[in-house]
Amino acid sequence: MGKKKILVCLTGGIALYKAALVVRGLLKAGFELEIAMTKDAQKFVTPLTFSSLIKKKVHTDEEWFKSDEVLHIKLADWSDAIIVIPATANILTKMAVGLTDNLVSASILASQATKYVIPAMNQKMLTAPATQRNFQRLKADGVQFLSPVKGLLAEGYSGDGRLPEPPEIISWLIDRLETENKKDLVGKKVLVSAGSTVEPLDPVRYLSNNSTGKMGFAIAKIAQQRGAEVTLVAGPNQLALPNRVNYQPIKTARQMEQKMLEFYQQADFVIMAAAVADFRPAKTAEQKIKKQELDQLTLRLVRNPDILAELGRKKQKQLLVGFAAETQELLHNATQKMQQKKVDLLVANDVSRHDIGFGTSQNEVVFLQPDVAPELLSKRSKEKIADKIFDLLMDLNRQRRK
């Protein structure tokens, strides 16, 4: 496969100066770039800066108006992916409604390639209802966003809306651009569980855990990007739904068990990334329990179904992946779980660390397989870990066919 061809669209924001470092990072990673700039972008940084980096001319509205060829169609057809940086509120609005009043917006609309958008704007503009509606509409269209960060804004005060630093942007883009090259899961059915389950104590209170679902959602997202047909069974969460997945929301462990079994037989790869509650109250109160009526409260708990063990017992053609979230003796406990649950691959991580695991965007894991030495994957994004999981599953799938 040749170099991936990227159209970088530059728009008029004060954060544009950071885009030069992003362009240089993408060039070093081996991508082929074309650059288009809006008229306002040229007021912040001249085209010469970027043409010096890519060793070719930068496309502008002036060229667009004078060209005999249909330049926006040419760029749209050429590109494998489009990056918009820094994405202003103005360009987001144009993208959301399909307005094409300049070369950049016309090229974006004409392209069928995936769009990677890195917004930057004042916090008040970022949180405005119109901007939030545009985000939701564009996400529904398949646009991928790297969220702005909190920091010192151009207006002189701190707030959300600052463009992330170039190394973070480059890493985020490379993770996604490299994954998009892979379509090796076409024809595969992937079943993923994610997040926590909740076990009601009364109509207000419940038992649960700290899992946010980020790992499971990352797995579903990468599976879909690599071409799989994905079913995602997830507990309550606040995450953006990956594009084009069959989403099955649940609350309790028994509901998750029911949904996983419903889709299990037709699945090729099954990944239990959910943190399922081990126990539930033996009885759920019909009304809210009033603390004024009690000096102490004793709960009787009963065991929930062990979904992973059940899937292991019923496994036929599926490749089954489990997760082990441990606070001590990681390898010992994870190895026992791998053997007891009859999984083909177990992903273990240390949840006692605050920089990885529950609620974070990164993790550090150990992969365990029967009769294979444990493999450590150092701290990295959960999308990158998800990508590695599918690399291992495809290796196992090939070995099975021999």
Residue 2 has pLDDT above 60, yes or no: no
Residue in this structure with the two tokens 């590695």, named with its chain if needed = 388
Q: Give pLDDT, residue 157.
A: 79
pLDDT bracket for residue 370 (50, 70, 90): very high
C-alpha 166/C-alpha 292 separation (Å) is: 55
288 is in an annotated binding site: yes
Please report, for residues 201, 208, 283, 288, the alpha-carbon distance to residue 300 in angstroms, rounded to integers and kept in the order given: 10, 15, 8, 17
Q: What is the pLDDT of residue 402?
A: 64
The residue annotated as part of the active site, out of 209, 237, 333, 397, is: 209
Q: From CA 21, how far away is CA 82, in angstroms rounded?
A: 17
Chain center to CA of 331: 27
The reply to whether 278 sits in an annotated binding site is yes
CATH class of the structural domain 5-180: alpha beta
Domain spans, the chain:
5-180, 189-401
The pLDDT tens digits for 196-254 are 999 999 999 899 988 999 999 999 999 998 999 999 999 999 898 888 899 999 999 99
Angle at 204 between CA 198 and CA 207, to 5 degrees: 30
Q: What is the pLDDT of residues 289-311, one digit of tens each?
A: 888 767 788 889 999 999 999 99
Q: Is 281 annotated as a binding residue?
A: no
CA–CA dist 365, 350 (Å, integer) = 8
In this structure, CATH architecture of domain 189-401:
3-Layer(aba) Sandwich (3.40)
Active site residue 181: no
Burial class for 228, CB neighbours closer than 10 Å (0-12, 13-18, 19+): buried
Domains 5-180 and 189-401 share a fold: yes
Model confidence at 1, pLDDT cuts 50, 70, 90, reads very low
Strand-pair partners of 79? none
Residue pLDDT, tens place only, 145-187: 998 988 888 888 788 889 999 999 998 898 888 776 678 899 9
Question: What share of the chain has pLDDT > 90, as a percent?
Answer: 70
Q: Is position 236 annotated in a ligand binding site?
A: no
Whole-number Å distance between alpha carbons of 188 and 230 = 9
Residues 378-396, buried b or exposed e (16+ Cβ, 10 A)?
A: eebbbbbbbbbbbebbbeb
Decide which of 327 and 84 is more confident: 84
For residue 5, give the H/E element and its range. strand 5-10
175 is in an annotated binding site: no
Q: pTM (2 decimals)? A: 0.67
Alpha-carbon span 334 to 327, nearest angstrom: 11
Per-residue model confidence as pLDDT tens digits over 264-278? 999 999 999 999 999
